[in-house]
Structure 1
C-alpha cells in the first residue's frame, strides 16, 4: 500500500508537455514585453537603453569614451550580447538628445550606417545629466548576475518617451510612438501644470509635412500622413527637400524608379544631390505637367507615407494602451513628485549643515574641548559620555538628538581648525543656510510654480535649435485615377464586344492608365463599368467605350432608342455618376430595346439631329429635326421622352451642339493651396472652358493658369488669387527696394502666356508686394509707422492713380513705413422694407372682392 501511495504522489507531480509549453510561452512572452520591447512610462526607456545610460554615467568623467568600451560596460547589466547594445547606442545617438556623439554615427536621412564601435565616441549630454540621474531618488535592483546594482527605472524629470519616440514588437502586442517636438513638449508640461488643454503632434528630424487630422492622440486606430517637401524648380524639374519619417533618400528614390517602371509616373532621371541638406532632383519627361507629377509622386511613391501610432507602455509591470496626453500628464505628475523629493532631501541636508555648525559652535564657544573630564577621558566611549553630559543644557536647541556619530565628528576636528574658529563667519554661514531653507520651504509650498520654473529653465537652456522641423498642414485627397500617367492604350472590338489594352490589332480608343475604370455602352441599350484589363468582354455591338470618371457631372450622354414593348422611340439625356463595377445597367424601358443614336459629351453638349422615319410609316412628315437641348439631364434610369410613335429608319447628326451646363463654380482652399468644386475656401467665380485664374505672389509677380483642380499654388507666398476677366483692373501697393519707397499702381493683365511668372514690381532684391485687390475694391486701411507710434489711415486707391501699364512703377504712396494694408469691404445696405399692416391688407382685399361681386351676375355674367 505504501508503494502504491508513493507512486500516486509521483504521478500528481508530473506536468504534461502541453502545460510546460503553455507556461514556457507565457514566461517568454512576459519577458519580451517587460524586458525588451516595450518602454516603461516612468522614464520612457527600454531596459537596454536604461542600462546603456547607467553604464555611461558610471564611466562619465566629462570626456568622450569609445563606444566599444561603453558596450563592454553595458554588458555587465544587459545579458544580450554586444550587437544589440551597439545598435541601441547608435539609435540613441542619432536622436540627438541624451548622447553627445563624435565620429561617423550614420545618417537617418540617407540610411547610411554608423562606423564600427571602435571608431566612434560618445558621452552623456548636459541635458541627460540634468534630467535623468539622481542616486538619492533612484530605486535600485541587482543586475542579472547579482554582482552589481542597476536602476529599476531612472527618476526622469522630462517626458523622454514623447521626445524620442519608440518602436517595438513584442509577443502578441507592439508599440509605436512617434517623436514630438522638444520645445512643444516643455510648453505642454507648463500648460498642463496651469490646467490648460494640450495638443501635441509629432515632429521629425527628417522634416517634411504632416497631416494630423486623424492622429487621435497617438492611440490605437489613429494615423498621420507624412509627405516630402517637393518644390517646382522649373517646368521640367521637381526638387525634394525633405523626406517623410521612416524613409531614406535611397528608399525614396527606389520607390520613384519603381513607379516610373510601372508607368505610374513619367520621369527622365532622378539625381541625388544630398549632402548637408537633402536635395533629390526629379527631371520630368517632355510634355509632363509638374503639378500632376507632384501629385503622382505623393500617390504612387514613398513621397507620402501613412503611419499608424500605437502608444503602449509599461505601467506597474503591465502593458497599457494610453494616449499621448495621458503620458504627458503622468510624466508631469512624476516630475512634480521628484522635485518635491529633491527639495525635501535638500532641506534635510541644509538642516544637517546647520545642526553640525551649531554643534561645533557650542563645542568651541563653551570651551568643551578644554574641559578636564573631556581631555582626560581616555577612550572614545568615555569621550562620548562626557560630551553627552556637557551638551545636556543645549539639547532643546537642536531639531534632533545628538548621536555618537555627531560626537565622533567633533572629536575628529583637528586642534588647528578649532583655534582658528571664527564665530561671526559661522553665524553668517548659518544665516545663509537658514535663508536657503526658507527658499526651499517656499518652493515646497508653491510646488506647481516651482515645477513650471523648472520646465521653463529647461526650455531656455536647451530649446534653442530644437524648433519644429515638420510643418503641420492639411493634405488634399489625391484622385489616383486623375494623376496616374497614361501608361496603357485602350482598344475595342466593337462587333465581338471586347475591350482592353491587349487588343492591339483592333480599334484604338484612347490612352489611359492601367488603374482606370472603363465604361461601355452597347446597341441593346446596356451599360457596364469594369476595371481595365488585357481583354474583357462587355457585350456585343459596342456603341461607345471610354475611361469612366466617378461623379463626373460634366459628362452627359444623349441617346435615342426604340422600346421593344410599345414600339415607340424615346430620347433621353443622362449622366452616369456612380455605379457598381461589373454590374450591367439597362438604359431603356426593359426588354430587347435597340439604340438608334448615341453620343458622349464631355462638357454637356446638346446637338441637333435629323430623324428619318420608314417609308411605310403612316406619318405625314417622315423627316424632321430634333434638338437635344430641349431635354433635361436626368439619371441613367429615366425612360426619356417620346420622340415618335412611328418606326424610325435612321437618326443622323445635323448640327454640333454647345454646352448646356454653363460654367463651373471654382473655390480656392488656402489651407492646401488647391482649387476645388466642393465649396471649400473662397469662391473665385463661375468658369467656362476658356477662363483662367490669375495668382499674385509676395515677390511682386503674377501668373495665369487654367482652373484644373490639379494645379498647385504656394499658399505661403500667395498674396491673392482671382478669376481673370477681360479688362478687369488690379490695385497694388508695393515696396521698391532700390528707392526704399512705397508705390501704388492700378493695371490690367496684358500678358497671355499661361504658367509663366511675370514681375510687375522693380527687380531690386528687397522689392515686394504689400497689397493686391481686384477691380473696384480700392478702399483700404493702411497701418504705418509715424515716429514711434503706429497710425492708421483710410484711402481710396482710385483717387491716387489712374490705370496704367502693368510694368509701370506707379505713384508714390501718400504714407511711408507701411506696416500693413487691409481691404475695407463695402457693406451692402439693403433697402429697408416698409412695415406691413395685415389688418389693412385684409380690409383692402375684402373691399375689392365685394366690389367685384356687385359687378357680376349669379352665373358670373357681367352686369349691363
Structure 2
C-alpha cells in the first residue's frame, strides 16, 4: 500500500516539460497591459496621426498611391478607387470612402466631379458609385516620385506600398488634419497655400516666419493666443455679420468647423432660451453663404450682433494640438517647426532627385561616347572574324582600351554587351554631328544639375517660386485676421425676464408676477439689494430668492462699474449720530453680506440713492421737532464728500435725531464727462484708454462718424456700438457748430468737387450720403478743423507738367447745405489732393493719389481719364 501511494505521488508530480509550460503562463492582467499598449501604438501610428514627411495618414497615403496606379488622365469612379485602395488598406470600404471625400473637399490633391457634399452646409456627398475623382496636376507634380520613394510590403505581402510619399511641399499644414487615437489626439488647422510657400522661401533665406491658419469657410479669426498651434493654444473664429438694414442682419461667412444648418439651430435655440430676440431666420445659401436674421421689433442690431457672438455658433473657440509622427513616435511640435522640417525634407528630396538625374545623365553620356567610339573607330568590324562569344567581347574590350581613361568609371562587361545589341541599321545611319549635339545638350544639362547641387538652396527657392506662380492663383487668404474684444454675456443678453420684489416677505425673482415690478432683466444678471438695517449683498437672479425683509433698494448689478456712486445717510446705533458717505460697489462676493453702517446694533439707513454717472445731490434734512437743535431744517450737498471705499464710516451729518431726509436737487457728476476712446483695430468704443480719445461725453452727446463711402452717421456713445474700422474715415465727438470740409471725386463727371456744410440732421444710426451717388464717386479728403488747407497737384498746358497750389477751404466755397453738390475743385486735371494744415485727424493727412485710389471701372479706353 505504501509503495502504491509513493507511485501515485510520483505520478502527480509534473515532468520537466510541464514545468516549463507552467513558468511561461502569462496572467490575464499582463496580457491586457501588453495588448492594450500594442493596440494604442497601432492606432496612433497606423490610423489617427499623420506622418510629418508627407502630412498624410496611412489611409490617405494608400488612397493617393492607388489613384496614382490608376491614373490615366481621366476621372475614375470613387467606388473603383475604393476597391483599388482595399488592396493596401485592410479596414473596410467605409473608412476609405470617407477619407476620399475629405481629401476631395480640401480641393488640393484631388479633382472632383459630381456631388461631393458641402462643408459649409453640412450636406453629405453622393454615393461612391455616382461621384468621380482624379489626381490634380499639383499632386502629380509634388507628391509622387518612385525613384525617391521608400517602399514596403502591403498587409498581405502581395504588393508594395510607400512608407511615406516624397511630398515636396508643406502638405500637412496646407490641408490640416484631425485625429483621435488612444490617449492621444491631433488637430492641425489648415494654412494658406500662398503664405506657406512664401514662408518656405523665407526660411530658405534664413528669416523667421509667423504663419496663421486660413479656413475655407472664411470668416474672421483672432490668433492672439494661437501659440503656433501647440497644446493649450486657442483661436477664436467669428462669422462675418453685416447689417442689411435696421431690421435684418446678414451672416456672410461661418466659423470653421460649423455648418449653416448647425448655426441656424444655435440661433433658434438661443432665441428660445430668451438670450436673443429674433423674428425669423432664413437660409439663402447658394454659391455663397447668406443667412438672413430678421430682428424682433425694438432690438438693436449692434447688441444683437454681440449677442449672436456670445450665445450662438457665430463665434467658436478652436483648440489646436499639433502632433505628428516623426521616426515612428508621436511628437508635439509648433507649426513653425513643422514648416521648417517640411522645408528640410523638400530640400533633401530635391537634392536626391538631382543626384539621380546626375547619375542618369552621366550614364547616358558614357554610353553615347562608347557608341560613338564603337562606330567611328569601326570596332564592330573587328568582331566579324571572331568565332566565339568570348572572343567578341574581348575584341571590343581591346578596341576600347585607348579610350578608357576618358571615362568617369571603369567599362564593365554590361557596357560591352549593350554595344553588341546595337542594330546594323543604326550603325549605317549613324550621324556623328547629331550625336555630338545630343551629347553637348546632355553635358549642358549635367553642368546645370551640378550647379543646382552646389546651390541647392537657390534651386529650392526657385522651385517654390515656380509652384507659387503655377498654382497660387485663386488661393488667396479667405479668413481675415482680426483682434476681437471680449463680449460680456450679461451685457448683451436680451431682457428675457422681469424682476419683481416682495418687500414684506423679503423675496425677489422673475417668477413672482403678482408682486411689485422692478425692471426688465436677463436670466444671466446679478441683483444688488440694500436693506434698511444697512446690509447689502449681490445675488444671482432666479425665479424666487430670499434676500431679507425691509429692502429699500434693488437693481441690476454691473461688475466693475466705476461710474455708479451710492449717496447714503445712516443712523449709527452706537453714538446716535447720523452719518453721510459716498461709496462705490465695483466687486463683491456673491451672496456675501456687507454693511453700509459701522455694524452697531440699532444702525439703519435713513437715505440711499444710486447715481449711474457719479452725480452728487442736494438733500433736505428735517430733524426731530423735539431735538435741541436751533436749526431743525437744512440742506446738505453730497458734493462736499469724497467718494471713498465701501467700508468707510463716513462723515457726521448731525448729532441730533433725524425725522426725514428728502431729495431736493441733482448735482453734477463727480467724475466729469465720460471719456470715450475708439479702438480702430476692433472698431469698438471703450473707457479703458485703448485707442484714440474721442472726447468727454455727458447726457445726450453723440458721436459723428464719416465713412469712406462718402456718408456720415450720428451715434450715441453706448459701448455696445460697432463700427467697421476699414470703412471709417473720421470719428469724433459731434459738435453741431463744426463745419465739415470735403473734397470728393464725382464718378459721373469725372471731376473733383469741394464742399463745406454743417450737419443739420439729428437722427441717430442712419447714414446720410453727402457726395454724389455714382458708383465711381469717392471721398478724397474730409476734416472738421477750423481753418483747413489743401494742397492740389494738377496738370495744365501743352507740356502737361505738374503744378502745385495751396488753398484755404473757405476761399474755395462758402458753407452750404449737406445735400449741395459743391464747387468744381479745379478746371485742370487734378492728380493729387493733400490736407496740409489744421488737421487733427491723422487718417485724413494721407496723400490722395488719384491713380492709386480711384477705380473708375471704365470699359472704353476713350472714356478713361489720363490721370498721369
Matched, 1:763 2:768: no
Contact 1:704 1:755 in 2 (8 A): yes
Match among 399, 417, 428 for residue 426 of structure 2: 417
Matched, 1:431 2:440: yes
Contact 2:785 2:839 in 1 (8 A): no
Greater than 6 Å deviation, 4+ residue runs = 783-792
Separation (CA, whole Å) in 1 of partners of 2:615 and 2:401: 113
Judged with a 3 Å threshold, the aligned counterparts in structure 2 of structure 1 residues 151 and 588 are, in CA distance, closer, same or farther, namely same
Separation (CA, whole Å) in 1 of partners of 2:800 and 2:406: 63
Separation (CA, whole Å) in 2 of partners of 1:378 and 1:590: 129
Match among 527, 539, 557 for residue 518 of structure 1: 527
Q: TM-score when scaled to structure 2?
A: 0.93
SS of residue paired to 2:397: helix
RMSD: 1.7
Cross-structure match for 1:739: 749
Q: Which runs of structure 2 are paired with 1:98-497 in the superposition (5 Å)?
A: 98-371=109-382, 374-497=383-506
Q: TM-score when scaled to structure 1?
A: 0.93
Match among 554, 565, 571 for residue 563 of structure 2: 554
Separation (CA, whole Å) in 2 of partners of 1:791 and 1:386: 90
Separation (CA, whole Å) in 1 of partners of 2:638 and 2:715: 33
SS of residue paired to 1:375: coil
Matched, 1:606 2:606: no
Match among 820, 824, 830 for residue 808 of structure 1: 820
Contact 2:154 2:160 in 1 (8 A): yes
Cross-structure match for 1:833: none
Residue 322 (structure 1) shift: 0.5
Question: Residues 708-758 of structure 1, C-alpha deviation per residue, up to 9 Å, x if partnerless?
Answer: 111111212211111111311111110111211111222111111111111
SS of residue paired to 2:619: strand
Separation (CA, whole Å) in 1 of partners of 2:124 and 2:674: 54
Match among 557, 579, 582 for residue 588 of structure 2: 579
Question: Residues 562-612 of structure 1, C-alpha deviation per residue, up to 9 Å, x if partnerless?
Answer: 111111100112111111111111111122310111112222233322222
Judged with a 3 Å threshold, the aligned counterparts in structure 2 of structure 1 residues 402 and 695 are, in CA distance, closer, same or farther, namely same
Judged with a 3 Å threshold, the aligned counterparts in structure 2 of structure 1 residues 470 and 582 are, in CA distance, closer, same or farther, namely same
Separation (CA, whole Å) in 2 of partners of 1:469 and 1:789: 43
Match among 600, 608, 625 for residue 635 of structure 2: 625
Matched, 1:69 2:52: no
Match among 646, 654, 667 for residue 677 of structure 2: 667
Residue 10 (structure 1) shift: 2.3
Separation (CA, whole Å) in 1 of partners of 2:802 and 2:347: 44
Separation (CA, whole Å) in 1 of partners of 2:464 and 2:792: 41
Matched, 1:615 2:628: no
SS of residue paired to 1:196: coil
Contact 2:792 2:830 in 1 (8 A): no
Residue 826 (structure 1) shift: 7.3
Separation (CA, whole Å) in 1 of partners of 2:89 and 2:384: 56
Matched, 1:715 2:728: no
Separation (CA, whole Å) in 2 of partners of 1:761 and 1:324: 48
Cross-structure match for 1:845: none
Residue 104 (structure 1) shift: 0.4
Separation (CA, whole Å) in 2 of partners of 1:51 and 1:791: 69
Q: Structure 1 unaligned runs (5+)?
A: 828-864
Cross-structure match for 2:734: 724
Contact 1:167 1:175 in 2 (8 A): yes
SS of residue paired to 1:511: strand
Q: Tell me how many residue pairs correspond in the alignment.
A: 825
Separation (CA, whole Å) in 2 of partners of 1:240 and 1:135: 47
Separation (CA, whole Å) in 2 of partners of 1:6 and 1:792: 109
Judged with a 3 Å threshold, the aligned counterparts in structure 2 of structure 1 residues 10 and 819 are, in CA distance, closer, same or farther, namely farther
Once structures 1 and 2 are overlaid, which stretch shifts more, 587-596 or 446-455? 587-596
SS of residue paired to 1:111: coil
Separation (CA, whole Å) in 2 of partners of 1:560 and 1:33: 70
Match among 101, 104, 118 for residue 90 of structure 1: 101
Contact 2:527 2:557 in 1 (8 A): yes
Contact 1:208 1:227 in 2 (8 A): yes
Once structures 1 and 2 are overlaid, which stretch shifts more, 108-117 or 678-687? 678-687
Cross-structure match for 2:648: 638
Residue 468 (structure 1) shift: 0.4
Q: Structure 2 unaligned runs (5+)?
A: 1-9, 841-868
Separation (CA, whole Å) in 2 of partners of 1:785 and 1:509: 70
Contact 1:131 1:158 in 2 (8 A): yes
Matched, 1:798 2:800: no
Residue 152 (structure 1) shift: 0.3
SS of residue paired to 1:578: coil
Contact 1:500 1:532 in 2 (8 A): yes
SS of residue paired to 2:22: helix
Separation (CA, whole Å) in 1 of partners of 2:763 and 2:155: 75
Contact 1:742 1:816 in 2 (8 A): no
Judged with a 3 Å threshold, the aligned counterparts in structure 2 of structure 1 residues 8 and 258 are, in CA distance, closer, same or farther, namely same
Separation (CA, whole Å) in 1 of partners of 2:835 and 2:347: 47
Judged with a 3 Å threshold, the aligned counterparts in structure 2 of structure 1 residues 303 and 637 are, in CA distance, closer, same or farther, namely same
Judged with a 3 Å threshold, the aligned counterparts in structure 2 of structure 1 residues 101 and 826 are, in CA distance, closer, same or farther, namely closer
Q: Which runs of structure 2 are paired with 1:49-68 in the superposition (5 Å)?
A: 49-68=60-79
Cross-structure match for 1:595: 605
Match among 682, 686, 690 for residue 680 of structure 1: 690
